[in-house]
Amino acid sequence: GQNIDQPTEMTATEGAIVQINCTYQTSGFNGLFWYQQHAGEAPTFLSYNVLDGLEEKGRFSSFLSRSKGYSYLLLKELQMKDSASYLCAVMDSNYQLIWGAGTKLIIKP
């Protein structure tokens, strides 16, 4: 079967750095996506990785290792507005997105 694993919940402090991990087992691989979803809102696209390595976009970075079936989302200089759920999704060989259950990130002052 196909599955995406990510922690259910994480807590971090404002101004700190947090890393949200995602491991996956899918039928084929056509890229990995990270989305942010604030409570009561729709997801918004954060990043896309298809090759190994680190993609940096402002305070957010995403890393991929295809051989390990592993990705992480790194958030720096955390702000209270970063409190949200972070969804990892992998596009399989049929170009279907397989979704993780999401990681709820709680930022404390």
Partner 1 sequence: GAVVSQHPSWVICKSGTSVKIECRSLDFQATTMFWYRQFPKQSLMLMATSNEGSKATYEQGVEKDKFLINHASLTLSTLTVTSAHPEDSSFYICSARFGRAETQYFGPGTRLLVL
44 near partner 1 (CB under 8 A): yes
Q: Is 33 exposed, middle or buried (0-12, 13-18, 19+ CB in 10 A)?
A: buried
Give the number of residues in contact with partner 1, rule: CB under 8 A: 19
73 near partner 1 (CB under 8 A): no
The SS3 of residue 30 is coil
Closer residue to partner 1 (CB): 10 or 13: 10
The stretch near partner 1 (CB under 8 A) out of 19-27, 34-42, 53-61, 63-71 is 34-42
30 vs 26, 40, 83, 96, CA distance in Å? Answer: 10, 29, 29, 9
32 near partner 1 (CB under 8 A): no
Closer residue to partner 1 (CB): 7 or 31: 31
Q: Which amino acid is at 73?
A: L
Which residues touch 56 (CB under 8 Å, ≥6 apart)? Answer: none
The contact set with partner 1 (CB under 8 A) reads 30-31, 33, 35, 40-45, 48, 87, 91, 95-97, 99, 101-102
